[in-house]
Structures are given as C-alpha cells and as structure tokens.
Chain A
Amino acid sequence: MRTDLAVIGAGPAGLAAALAAERRGLRVALVDAAPEPGGQFYRQPAPALRAERPQALHHQWRTWTRLRDRLATSRVRLLTEHHVWSVERTPEELIVHALLGPEQEEPAEVRARAVLLATGAYETVLPFPGWTLPGVVTAGGAQAMLKGGLVVPGRTAVVAGTGPLLLPVATGLAAAGVRVGALVESADPGRTLRHAGPLAGKLPEGAGYAARLLRHRVPVLVRHTVLRAHGEGRLTGVTVAALDARGRVRPGTERRLPCDTLAVSHGMLPHTDLAESLGCRLDGLTVAVDAEQRTDVPGVWAAGEATGVGGSGLALAEGHVAGRSIAARLRGAVPDPGQWAPAARARARLRASAGALDAVFAPPAGWAERVTDDTVVCRCEEVTAGAVRAGLALGAGDARTVKLLTRAGMGWCQGRMCGPAVAGLTHRDPTPPRRPFARPVPLGVLARQHEENTDPAPGSGPDLDAGPDSGAGPDLGVASDLGGSPAPDAGPAPDAGPDLGAAPDPGGSPAPGGGPDPDAGPAPHDGPDPHGHHTERGSS
C-alpha cells in the first residue's frame, strides 16, 4: 500500500504520532507486530480471554482508552501483525518491508513519504549462575504474562535486578495472588531519590508502590543482588546477598530464599536496528533526533524509547511532536514549535527524570566477575562465560571479535539477549549492534523481491547462467502503481479536541521502563525455538 506516513510501532509514541498526523490531514499507516495496538506498555489481553477488568493491571488506563477510542474513529490504517524486517530508502520514497501474521512468511510493503520509527525498547537481563533454569523469567515477561495472558508465572516469586520496572512487576504479581518473597534491587533508589531534584515528581508514585508492597507484605531488599539461582531441572530458590557501596558482595550476608519463579530485569535497551540500517546517526545506544524528532536521514523521524528510554509519558510527548512535525514538513511547511509547546515542556521534564533514573539504576559493579565460567551467556549458541574469556585470551579485543571467535550473539536472537553481557565480560561499554535484518526473513521472500525488481526471466527452470550481471540494477520502487491508493485527506483538519500528546498525566509517568519487551530474545525459561517460531520482539 501507499501512504503519506508509515508509523512503525503502535505503542504510546506511535499512537500519539499517528493521531496527531492524521488529524492534520495525512494518510497514516500504523504498523505493529502485535495483534492489537498498544505496544508493550498498553499490552492488552487477547479478546478471547474476556478479561473483565484489564485496567487493574495498567496505569494510565484513561489515557489508553482515549487513544484507543480516537484510533477507532480516525482514518489511521492500523496494520497489525506486520513484523517489519527492514525499511528501504529509495530516491522516491521509503518502503517498509514486513512479514505477515504469526508465521511471518508472507511479505507486505508499505510505501510512504515519511517514516516514524517508534520501535520501543527491549529488556536487558544480565547472566548469573543458574539463570537458564526453567522458572527464571524476565520481569517484563512476567508482566506481559499478566497483562496479555492474564496468567501468573508461578506461586512464589522473587523479583530481582535493577530498575523502576521491578516495582510494578512485584505489585502486579502480588495483586494477582503470587506470593512475592522479596523485591531484590541492586541500587539504593530511596536514598538517591531523596536527593534527586528532577525525580521529585516520582516520589508520590514510588510511595504508592511502597504502600502496595507493604500491603502485600513484600520485603524490599535494596542494595542486594541475586548471586545464584538453584534447582535441579527447575528453579527452587535463589541466594541473595547484600552489596557494599562499591557494588561488591558483603561477605557473610548470603541467604537463601525459596521460590519457583524469579522475575529478573536489568533495564531497557532501545530498538535501533531499523534506524541503524537506514543510516540514521545514533547517539550512544539511542537514535539521535532534533527538536522536531527528526533523524538525520531525510524523511525519517523517531520517537519514544528508540530515542531514549523514558516511559510512556515521554513517548506520548515525543510522538505528538513528531506527528505534528511530519504533518507540516510533508506539506512543505516549516512547523511552528510554539504549537506544541506543552508537549515540548513535558518532553524536557521527563527526559531529565529519565536521565536521573538511569544514573540511579545501573547494574552493580563487579557483576561480570561474579559470572562463573560454566554459566551460559549466549543461549542461542550455548556459549559460556568461560568461552568468552577464552576468546579474549585469543586476541579478541571487542564484542564483535568475541562473537567471531565464540559465536556468542550469532544465533537466532542476534545478540539481543547476550549483547550487554558479552560487552560486560569484554570490559567494554555496549555498542549499538548491527542488525541489517530487524528480524529473520525467509530467503524465498528476498528471492521473489529480486525477481519482481528485475526483468522477468525468460523461460523456466533454474536460470543460473543469466550472465554475471544478472543481479545488477534492480529498479527500486518505480514499477508499482502510483495511482492505486485513495487519498482521502481533506486537507489539514482543525486543531481542536483533547490533545493527548501534549500533556501527559500530570502525576508523572509511572513505569519509566515504559514497556518491557518480554520477547527481546529467547525468554530465559525456554531458550530459542529451533523451529523458528520465536515470536514478537518489541513493537517494531
């Protein structure tokens, strides 16, 4: 199909942008891999489950229902179960390449004048001895089970790691009837938050969670870490220990907590694959954008967690700015930033708190040294920490060479799961990975695109000898029908009605993790699926 704007990702940023742009007269396609819009943050139970009160598991339910209702009455084309594997830039347009449905075998294309990357973020889990036992799940995965499937992962859980996501996961599990043995946080957020100016707005929210933890009798262990998960074939408990101010284990503080579920998380990483292969400049691990949310590649905007993890409120504000910028730019106009001043103010404030949170919640120093040699680090290729260390001894100086020498990160998830761990074991800061395919793509799909883009081959049968230049010069995107798609835009719509993106709920945005991605890689309890049924990864 052909459209003005293709928005990739139907989470808060993508929804806000799609609605803002549509209201200003653009034809908009909203593309998402999930069966329902909402992204990870507003993940919905499948309708067949007939949830009576899904809002019990969500914050900002009102914001979501307003977005949902506006989407339903808008002319935004919602394309669900579209798994985007690449965005191609041609001289004429941008082409979003997707695979359809759960099988991800049939291709679909969206041709657009502009693309917004609202691809979200995925969860980081650092390895520790025993982390591959069944019963160990990502915190985001546990939350997704609650939100999407209305199922609880176990009967007795420990929630551990670091980051603001742990609080809602612990309270959500407790509210669903799981006994939460402890919330184990390696940072000391209370102490830091009391001294952090930009986080002042977060205190009431933190207090709310604290009250709920208290009500459910969840012990909170700050500046503690899980040293090891125990079990024969299945998780039966964890050993936790206190950390000193430098992140080292305090001897003699180890103790064992029984549990059948360990929900663990060490923060979020932006999905930057599509941006990277489009050639967008990255700023560290995030997509670099200007004040209008434009990347440095013409026609490509980015908003939400892809430009920096900061929660749904920030994503809404950025999406709104992006949608308005795109609407103006595609008309050939220079947008007036005064028009989105409230959103810009919210964005500035929420970015400041996100930065402060990043400083508070960091994996404890020395975590990498505590990973024993026999601990599997890359689950797809079953590479141990010992093998990574051997790779370093062979002359690997960076994560890429470790990958070459050990295969860590070469498997199905392409290092999404083990990237931060390998970087840590290599004593390097994580670098943006290079993943030209944002998800695996059948060779048959690529092959058919080749045939469509080149002259029809005469005759049939294997055509191996079409000459050495048989692959040369496919004409990109000039062959298809230009007149096909209806253009319903009645010009810019009047700017009225509630403006969702401009002012996220004044109480601040809960869950600065913004939406965990439970399937960022193989879930810790089941490993990669050798048959290729590995499913959704973020909202890209």
Chain B
Amino acid sequence: MSEPLTCDVVVVGAGMTGAACALYAARAGLDVTVVDRGPVAGGTTGAGEGNLLVSDKEPGPELRLALLSLRLWADLAQELGREVEYEAKGGLVVAANPETLDALGTFADAQRAAGVTADPVPAGRLHDLEPLLAPGLAGGVHYPQDAQVMPALAAAHLLRASGARLLAGREVTRVLHTPEGTVRGVRTDRGDLHAPAVVNAAGTWGGELAARAGVSLPVLPRRGFVLVTEPLPPRIRHKVYAADYVADVASDSAALQTSPVVEGTAAGPVLIGASRERVGFDRSLSLPAVRALAAGATRLFPFLSGVRAVRTYAGFRPYLPDHLPAIGPDPRMPGLFHACGHEGAGIGLAPGTGLLIAQALTGHPPGLDLTPFRPDRFPPTAQEAEQ
C-alpha cells in the first residue's frame, strides 16, 4: 500500500451530484479527491433521462433549489453545453380534461408566484408547440425553463472540468474519525485517504455510506423504468408529460405508478418514463411497468404506436421519507457532509447542491436556507435508538 493520500475533501460518489460537489469545491480552491466503488456515472446517474425541471415542483425548498440549479446549469452550458448535450428545450404539461386543467392551472399559478415561468397553453395552441400530440386534450402549461442534459456525459465532463483526482473502482469501507468524532478521512479497499472533510454523494447507497460513518440516513430506492425507442428524426420538441405525473412524484405509495413522460434526445431515440415503485434493488424486467409506459406514451403521441422500443432499463431513485434531499453538514459528525437523496431530480438539482456544499465546506453562508435539507432531521429507527 502506498502512502495515504491527503487532500482537503473526499467526495464519495462519481455520479452527477458528486461531480457537481467536486466542481464547486475545486473552484472554491479546495483540493478534491472523488472516490467511487464503480466507474463514473455507474449508479442512478447512468440510468436517468437527464431532466432539469422546475415544472414538476411545487413551491417550497426543492423548487428554490431547482431554480438556483437551473441558473447554474445555464452557466455551465456556456462552457460545456455541447459536451453534455445541454438542450433548453422547455417542458409542456398537458391535461386531458377540464378538471385536470383547472388543477394544473392552480398549480402553475402558485409556481409563478414562486418565480417559475409557466405559460398557459389553450387547447387550440398545443399543436403549435407539439404538432404530433394526440387530439382532444383540454390544454396545458408551457415551462420554458425546463431543460435536459445527457446525464452520464454531464457527470464525466463536470468531473473532468473540476480537475479533481478520480479514484474509480475503490470502495469506501469506513469513514475515519478522531477519538473525538471528527472526520479525518476514509478507508477504502485499497488504502486510506486522509482529509478533514468527507462528502456523501453516494446516491441510492448514501444510507449505506452514512452507516459506514456511524450515522443514520434513511435513503431508499424507488425503481423506475425508462423505455428507449429506435432513433427518430426530431419529432418531439419538448419534454411532454401528463399533469398526473406531478401527483405521482409526490406520492408515498409503494405500488407501481406510471404517468407518461415523453421526450426526444439529441441522439435521436425518444425516452419514455416514468414509472415508480418501491421494490428494493430488483433490476429485473417488469413487463407490466413497461407496458404501462408504452400505453401512456402512445396516448400522448399516437404516432409512437408504430415506433419500436429497442431497450428498457431500470434505475433506482434515492429518496428520503419526506422526498427532500439531505444537503449540508452533519451535526452528528464534524467534517461529514451529505449530498444525496435527490430522488428523481438529482441531475437537475446537482449544481445547486454542489454550490451549497462548497459554501459549507469553505465556511461561507449558504445561498439557500439549508434547514429543510438537514441530514439529521429524521428520527432514528427503533433499532438504531437501541444501539
């Protein structure tokens, strides 16, 4: 084993969030090492669609984080837009009937008051925005701030831009601390890394990493399937979804939920989401889930009936019980910071998260109130309380 490596901060996790933490920490002048048990973007980042959304968020702390992140994404796109396939495509949320449209309108009014651009689209104008949409829809709302990146490329290029040291294929087995309980680095399966600060950006495995630091963080997986079509010429211009998606995102149900989310990509294939179910880390194909996705997508865009799905894959959204991420210092262990639990919104929320973590690491006041994201906000389970 070589000499233990010493740096200012170890970021655990080379996904989107870890990459953003590394970037903003490095730009704040810190010497950063990123360690991951797999390759870059090997977890949830590599299984996502790359959504940068405000449209699906109700007013509150997550929307504030999303608005901050979208501003930062627009800056990042100046440097890396082409490499990460950044597209400021906008979102279009549609309602099938007047009742849903009413509810959507009320939701959009509240978002507008919170700083979101949300333009009502009457039924007669929907096809100006999306010519191939199904007929007979009641109307919708256009969200020009919604955007998209290719998430694996985004993580890889942000990491490269950070200049941070990347140690891939190394698993953190323990977070090291002093007898007083202050972080002093991590132990990996291939040696120790010494640093006064450790950032938990381990995504779905963030709960496990927290446990290896001796603290609890109830991160759980929520499975989603994405259907990918054969490459098509550009036909779907926006991220298009049905208004009931918002209800699904916020739902607490463990059962399978699907609501159609359809978008084209720069590379040609159309991506179809979004299913949600809590089934642990089961990656096996669920035909009921992908059938429901296809049914929803073809209802929105009838032309898709004749288009072939070439593959489908599962990913696991890391979520916390109140559906907000954990961001910031952990008062239970000085030097430990968390940046995980972003559920299905991690790509979009990453830059804001990275900036807030960098501010915390350097002792600057946070750009957003971190209270709603406090990592110790969950009561310990009965089992943990016993220990």
Indicate, yes or no, whether A interacts with B: yes
- A435 to B310: give the CA distance in the assembly, Å: 9
Q: Known: A396-B40, A400-B46. Contact between A405 and B96, CB under 8 A?
A: no
Interface string of A462-485 (1 = CB under 8 A from B): 111111111111101000000000
Using a CB-CB cutoff of 8 Å, which residues 377-396 of chain A contact chain B? Answer: 381, 394-396
Q: List 11 A-B contacts (CB under 8 A).
A: A401-B42, A404-B153, A405-B41, A436-B290, A437-B309, A437-B312, A465-B242, A465-B244, A471-B289, A472-B255, A532-B308
Residues of B within 8 A of A412 (CB): 230-231, 310
Show the binding face of A for B, using Cβ within 8 Å.
86, 88, 105, 277, 279, 381, 394-398, 400-401, 404-405, 407, 410-412, 414, 434-437, 440-444, 446-447, 449-451, 453, 461-474, 476, 530, 532
Residue in contact with B136 in the complex, picked from A86, A411, A461, CB distance below 8 Å: A461
Chain A positions within 8 Å of B307 at CB level? 442-443
Q: Does B227 contact A (CB under 8 A)?
A: yes
The answer, yes or no, to whether B229 is at the interface (CB within 8 Å) is yes
Minimum distance in angstroms from B367 CB to a CB of chain A: 28
With a cutoff of 8 Å between Cβ atoms, the chain A residues found around residue B294 in the complex are 443-444, 446-447, 450
Known: A395-B166, A450-B295, A472-B255. A443 touches B229 (CB 8 A): yes
Could you tell me which residues of chain B, from 23 to 46, have a CB within 8 Å of some CB in chain A? 38-42, 46
Task: Report chain A residues within 8 Å CB of B253.
Answer: 468-469
Name B292's contact: one of A440, A461, A471 (CB within 8 Å).
A471
**Would you call B244 and A464 a contact (CB within 8 A)?**
yes
Residue of B nearest to A449 (CB): B291
Instruction: Give min CB distance, B159 to chain A, whole Å.
Output: 6
> A394 with B160: in contact, given A444-B298, A462-B137, A465-B97 (CB under 8 Å)?
yes
B110 within 8 A of A: no
For A395, give its contact among B14, B134, B229 (CB under 8 Å): B14
B270-297: CB near A (< 8 Å → 1, else 0) gives 0010010000000011011111111111
**B102 CB to closest chain A CB, in angstroms?**
12
Chain B hits for A466, CB < 8 A: 244
Contact of B330 with A by CB under 8 A: no
A437 touches B310 (CB 8 A): yes
A473 and B136 contacting across the interface, CB-CB below 8 Å: no
Chain B CB within 10 A, most for which of A404, A441, A464? A464
In the assembled complex, the Cα of A282 lies from the Cα of B305 at a distance in Å of 34
Residues from chain B with Cβ under 8 Å of A407 in the complex: 267
Contacts of B243 in A (CB 8 A): 464-465
Q: Is the CB of A446 within 8 A of B153?
A: no
Q: Which residues of B contact A279 (CB under 8 A)?
A: 284
B residues in contact (CB < 8 Å) with A: 14, 38-42, 46, 94-97, 99-100, 134-137, 152-153, 156-157, 159-160, 166, 168-169, 227-231, 242-244, 247-248, 251, 253, 255-260, 267, 269, 272, 275, 284-285, 287-300, 304-313
Q: What 8 pairs across the A-B complex have the smallest Cβ distances?
A: A471-B292, A444-B305, A395-B40, A471-B258, A446-B294, A397-B39, A404-B152, A440-B308
Whether B96 and A86, one on each chain, are in contact in the complex, defined by CB atoms closer than 8 angstroms, is no
Contact of A473 among B230, B256, B269, B313 (CB under 8 A): B256
Question: Assuming A474-B288, A474-B292, what are 16 further A-B pairs, CB within 8 angstroms?
Answer: A277-B284, A395-B160, A397-B42, A398-B39, A398-B42, A404-B41, A404-B153, A410-B228, A434-B313, A437-B311, A444-B305, A464-B300, A468-B251, A468-B257, A471-B296, A472-B257
Chain A residue numbers with a CB within 8 Å of B134 are: 462
**Chain A residue nearest in CB terms to B301:** A443
Describe A's contact surface by its main secondary structure: loop
Instruction: Tell me the complex Cα distance, A279–B286, Å.
Output: 12
Q: Which residues of A contact B284 (CB under 8 A)?
A: 277, 279
B136 neighbours in A (Cβ, 8 Å): 461-462
In the assembled complex, how far is the CB of residue B275 from the closest CB belonging to chain A, in whole angstroms?
7
Q: How far is the CA of A471 from the CA of B256 in the complex (A)?
A: 7
Q: How far is the CB of B272 from chain A (nearest CB, A)?
A: 8
Q: Are A471 and B257 in contact (CB under 8 A)?
A: yes
Tell me how far the C-beta of B152 lies from the nearest C-beta in chain A, rounded to whole angstroms.
4
What is the bound-complex CA distance between A400 and B97, given in angstroms?
42
A residues near B94, Cβ cutoff 8 Å: 464
Choose among B96, B256, B259, B306 the residue that contacts A444 (Cβ–Cβ < 8 A): B306
| Interface contact B157-A447, CB-CB below 8 Å | no
A463 close to B287 (CB less than 8 A): no
| Also in contact, A443 and B288, with CB within 8 A (given A401-B42, A412-B230) | no
In the bound complex, residues from chain A placing their C-beta under 8 Å from that of B292 are 450, 470-471, 474
Question: Nearest-CB distance from B279 to chain A (Å)?
Answer: 13
Which chain A residues border B305 with CB–CB below 8 Å? 442-444, 447
A404-B46, A467-B244 as given contacts; A443 in contact with B260, CB under 8 Å: no
A88 — which chain B residues lie within 8 A by C-beta? Answer: 287
Q: With A400-B42, A464-B296 given, is the CB distance from A469 to B257 under 8 Å?
A: yes
Q: Judging by beta carbons under 8 Å apart, are B313 and A436 in contact?
A: yes
